[in-house]
Structures are given as structure tokens and as C-alpha cells.
Amino acid sequence: MNQNLYALFESRFPADRTQPLLILESGKIVSYGEAEAWAARYAALFASRGLVPGDRIAVQVDRSPEALLLYLGCLRAGLAYLPLNNAYREAEVRYFLENAEPRAVVGQPSAMAWLEPLAASLGIANVFSLDTQGGGTLQPAAAAMPDRFETIERAPDDLAAILYTSGTTGRSKGAMLSHRNLGSNALVLHRAWGFRPGDVLVHMLPLFHVHGLFVASHCVLLNGGAMRFHAKFDAGRAIADFAQSTVFMGVPTLYTRLLAEPALTPEACAKMRLFTSGSAPLLAETHQEFQRRTGQRILERYGMTETGMLTSNPLEGERRAGSVGPALPGVEVRVVDDAGRDCATGAIGNVIVRGPNVFAGYWRMPEKSAEEFTAEGFFRTGDLGSLSADRYLTIVGRSKDLIISGGYNVYPKEVELAIDELPGVQESAVVGVPHPDFGEAVTAVVVPRQGTEPANEGSIIAALKQRLANFKVPKRVYFVDELPRNTMGKVQKNVLRERFDPRKAAP
Ligand code: MCA
Ligand code: AMP
């Protein structure tokens, strides 16, 4: 049997292909039949341009129905889909294209001025553009293609997608996800979260990360059901949609923004059966406040780009605020000490995981990949946690130096390297401090370089916006004479986090 993930989805599509897959804000519907036909056209287009199974295709576009159907087309063609955050700037995209060597790139029309020459300089012959309305060069080229395509045979371990995650060294690594990784996780979530006929999901998450592209979309595709698909997150529109929907998936920032809306009432959510949260820690207060305001208990789950979803609070049974729940079926989750021994119940240790959902390694980084796995094949998540007697996992922190801002990951090293290159800067340290909207806010602490024109907060932020995606740019920059260091000379980031915590007195 064809193990292509698309073939799995197709086996669950409704017999009546006029049924909706996407319900757009305009009320327009994209049916399963149309999705199938467009996915066929995209697949045929890339095949006609000489792309063969295993080739990479990089996609950096704004959210649109076409972007989702493009992903399905790439699966059908057996290509490895490489989605890029639409906030990435030219310098960031250059690295991904150099590293992944895609045969085709799809970008926003507004990016073509730099993307076309960049692709040309790297020998990428196929460049297409796509905007939020289906405008650009991709659609006309695909429209000329046949609307049928025999989905390419794939084996379970063949590559379906590469998703880049930043690293503690500042260099991004491409997590290689196979058809089995994605398919096994989708099946487990679809079952664990009780998807059933008639479910309608409100989809407002980005389509370039695991949460929106895989977790949310895959559950709907496996259900053969519909999603109400929006241009972007909007709390008011989400609440209006809840009257006609049953499931919502969000990062914690979306829940705090929903809570700020007076329209969020038990009546507005009466038809909803499931709210899930993940990608960043959900405060127990948010969980409790949401229950008080709506009568609904948010189901928190935990995962990673490299692994898909690992644990989930149960659909039936206790959804414990502050815990990410027990391991999902088929996933092994352990908490171990630095010597690799299992920790006692309740003791804090390193979270390590194994399962069919866990990736095989990072693109073209065999040594780095090997370091991340134990001898028994468990992947080291870099998260710190503890397991209760009934095996609920609580994430208490991270051993990796990572900031999660509004559900987006920011590795301080990458931002520090960019700041240190700026004139007037001697050195810098970047930390996450509590933020009411984004959970954590990227914050820079800078030591000025003596004898040069001093940098200031505004100039540093403006310079970084040229180079880095906006969510990585520090919300605040503070200046100090020297960075606090321990006896080993390592910067004490905990001291900085404490000192520049905006909830405390002004630093
Ligand atoms: C936007 N800005 C941000 C963020 N988003 N700054 C820091 N962190 C962010 N996350 C910037 C904007 O560029 C703008 O900057 C300013 O903040 C205010 O923008 P705003 O209009 O409020 O932003 P928005 O467009 O409403 O976006 C906020 C958002 C978005 C909806 C929360 O960040 C989002 O969709 N987050 C979800 C991310 C996600 O899906 N993560 C899943 C990763 P300026 O004023 O300077 O222009 S997958 C994952 O983590 C794993 C596998 C898992 O477990 O799911
Ligand atoms: P990413 O690399 O974008 O896949 O982010 C994965 C990281 O997000 C994990 O290693 C955790 O640190 C964090 N994460 C995801 N879900 C949760 C959650 N529910 N609670 C706490 N941290 C989470």
C-alpha cells in the first residue's frame, strides 16, 4: 500500500467530494473535490518542471487556502515540503535555501525583488509567487495542468517535510520528518481528541509550523471534515465562529487574547466541544480563567517540531492545569537524570522521548543528530519536567537556551550574534522576560563598546529589523557596564531575567 501521507488522507475523504474542506471568511467553500484537483495540478506542475520525489520545495507565503492545497500537492508529488515563516528576512531565507538546496521556491510577490536574484544565484531554476488572494505566477501555471495525478508511491521513512528549528549555537537545523512520522502522529491525535463526523475546526494558526500545518490541518483531513479558515488570528472573528464550530486549537497568546473579549461567554462557546493549547506553557491561571468564563476546560498538550505531539491531557478524565498530560499512545516519555537514569516520581529531570512520530535526524547534520539521541534511541527534548504517580508530565523549564514568544521560538544565540555585529556594541545577552501577551518577551542586555559612537535602543532595534524576523527582535534593549558572570565565565542569564523582569521595580 502506498505510504504517502496524502494517500492516508485520501482514504478518509468523504465519498461526496462536494463536501467542504475549507469554509472561508467570505463564505466561499473549497470542497474536497476542488482540493484534490488543485493538489493534482500543483503536483503535475512540479513534475513537469523536472522535480522528482525527494526534491525539496521551499515555500514562504502568507496564509491562504492555496498555501494549504500547495502543501497537499507537494505530498502527492513526493516532494519534501519546506515551509518558512513569512516573517523571515532575506538573510535568514538565504541560509535555508543554501542549506536545503531546494529545486523550487514559492514566495510572496512582494519578496520577488530579492527572492528571484537570490534563487538565481543559488541555481534554483523554479521560482513562483503566490499572494493571499491566489495572485502571482503559481496559480496560472498550475491552472494549465491536468486535475488528476497519480499520487507518488512513498515508503514510510521517505521524507515528507523539512522544518527548520533554530539551535543553541545560532545555526538552524532542518528536522527531517517522514511520511510515517506525520501519519502516525495524525492518527493518534485524531483518535485521542475524539474527532467525529460533523466536527468543524476554527483554523487561525500559521501554516508554516507544526501546530497549524500538521496538528490542526491533519486532524481535519483525517476526519474528512471542514475547517473555518481565516486570513489571520482575530479574537472577535474566532468567537463569532464558535457558534458554528466544535474545535479550536491555539497557542497560549490566543487564549489570553480571547479572554480579553467580553463576547467570550458560555453561550458563545455552547456548540464547542474542544479547545486545545500548546507550543508554549499555558499558565494555570489562563486555564482556570477560561473555565470560569466559558465552562470549557482547555486541553493542554506538548510537542516539538522534531517529534510532533508527545503528550496530551485526556479528552475524558482529568485535564490538569499546569500539566501537559500523559504520553500519547505509542509514544514513550521518560524523565531522566544527567546520567540517564529514570528519576523518581515527582523529581525534575530531562525529558526524553521515543516513538514512530520522532524524526530521524537533522538535514545533513549526522553528528549533531547522533548527539541528540541516547543509545536506546530516545530523543533529548531539552525540556525539563517531572512525572506524577499517574504519569502526567509537567514541564518546568528548559535546559536549552530558548525563548518562546507568542508560540514562536527564538534562540538567544542567534539574536546575540546579530547584536554583537552592530557598531557600538561590545557584547550582549538575550533573555526572555514575562510578557502579558506573548508569554515571554525577547529582551537584550548590551555592553557598549568603549570609544565608539554609543548605540541606543532605537538604533539597535531598527538595525535588527533589517536582518531578523520581527518576532525575534527584542522588545526592549537595556545597557549595562558588564554582564554578570559565574566563576566559569558563563553569563548568568537567570540574574538578567530577574533584574529586567518588568513585573518587578524598574531596573
Ligand atoms: C507578532 N509579533 C510578535 C509575535 N507575533 N512579537 C513577538 N512574538 C510573537 N509571536 C510582532 C509583530 O510583528 C508586531 O511587531 C508586534 O509584534 C505586534 O503584532 P500583532 O499584530 O500583535 O501580532 P499578530 O499578527 O496578532 O500575531 C500574534 C500571534 C502570532 C497571532 C500570536 O504570533 C501567532 O500566530 N503565533 C502562533 C505561532 C505558532 O503557531 N506557533 C506554533 C509553532 P511590529 O509592531 O514591530 O511590527 S509549532 C510548535 O511550537 C510546536 C511543535 C507545538 O508544540 O505546537
Ligand atoms: P518547537 O521547536 O517550535 O517545536 O518548540 C518546541 C518546544 O516548545 C518544546 O521543546 C517546549 O519547550 C515548548 N512547548 C511546546 N508545547 C508546550 C507546552 N504545552 N508547555 C510547555 N512547553 C511547550
404-425 per-position pLDDT tens digit: 999 999 999 999 999 999 999 9
Query: Residue with the nearest Cα to atom 9 of ligand 2?
Result: 304
Cα 205 to ligand 1 centre (Å): 10
What integer pLDDT is reported at residue 177 of this predicted model? Answer: 98
What integer pLDDT is reported at residue 504 of this predicted model? Answer: 83
What integer pLDDT is reported at residue 166 of this predicted model? Answer: 79
Protein residues whose CB sits closer than 6 Å to any atom of ligand 2: 165, 210, 278-281, 300, 302-305, 324, 381-383, 395, 398, 404, 409
Ligand closest to 440 (CA) is 1
Cα 468 to ligand 1 centre (Å): 14
Q: Which domains does the chain have, with CATH numbers?
A: 32-178 (3.40.50.980), 233-399 (3.40.50.12780), 402-499 (3.30.300.30)
Q: Give the residue ranges of the chain where pLDDT is below 70.
A: 505-507
Cα 248 to ligand 1 centre (Å): 17
Q: Is 248 in the pocket of ligand 1 (CB under 6 A)?
A: no
What integer pLDDT is reported at residue 125 of this predicted model? Answer: 97
Query: Residue with the nearest Cα to atom 34 of ligand 1?
Result: 406
List phi, psi (to 5°) of 450.
-70, 145
452 three-state secondary structure:
coil
What integer pLDDT is reported at residue 506 of this predicted model? Answer: 58
Mutate to test the pocket of ligand 2, among 383, 393, 405, 414 (most ligand atoms within 8 A of CB): 383
What integer pLDDT is reported at residue 451 of this predicted model? Answer: 84
Q: Strand locations in 235-348, DSSP E?
A: 247-250, 274-277, 299-304, 308-312, 332-336
What integer pLDDT is reported at residue 190 of this predicted model? Answer: 98
What integer pLDDT is reported at residue 505 of this predicted model? Answer: 61
Closest Cα partner for 249 from 292, 295, 215? 215
What integer pLDDT is reported at residue 454 of this predicted model? Answer: 79
**Could you tell me which residues come within 8 angstroms of residue 280 by beta carbon, excluding any fewer than 6 positions away?**
251, 252, 253, 404, 406, 407, 439, 440
Ligand closest to 168 (CA) is 2
Cα 89 to ligand 2 centre (Å): 24
Cα 90 to ligand 1 centre (Å): 19
Mutate to test the pocket of ligand 1, among 279, 404, 443, 477 (most ligand atoms within 8 A of CB): 279
Q: Is 233 in the pocket of ligand 1 (CB under 6 A)?
A: yes
Burial bucket for residue 371 (CB in 10 Å: 0-12, 13-18, 19+): exposed
- The Cα 16–Cα 182 span in angstroms is 26
Query: Residue with the nearest Cα to atom 8 of ligand 2?
Result: 279
Query: Residue with the nearest Cα to atom 23 of ligand 2?
Result: 280
Cα 302 to ligand 2 centre (Å): 6
Residue 472 is given by DSSP the state G
Mutate to test the pocket of ligand 1, among 163, 214, 253, 255 (most ligand atoms within 8 A of CB): 253
Cβ atoms of 234 and 248 within 8 Å: the answer is no
Query: Residue with the nearest Cα to atom 6 of ligand 2?
Result: 304
Q: Is 210 in the pocket of ligand 1 (CB under 6 A)?
A: yes
- Specify the ligand 1 atom closest to the Cα of 410: 8
Largest CA distance in the chain: 73
Ligand closest to 215 (CA) is 1
Cα 251 to ligand 1 centre (Å): 10
Cα 404 to ligand 1 centre (Å): 10
pTM of the model: 0.96
Phi-psi region of 55 (alpha: psi -120 to 50; beta: other; left: phi over 0): beta
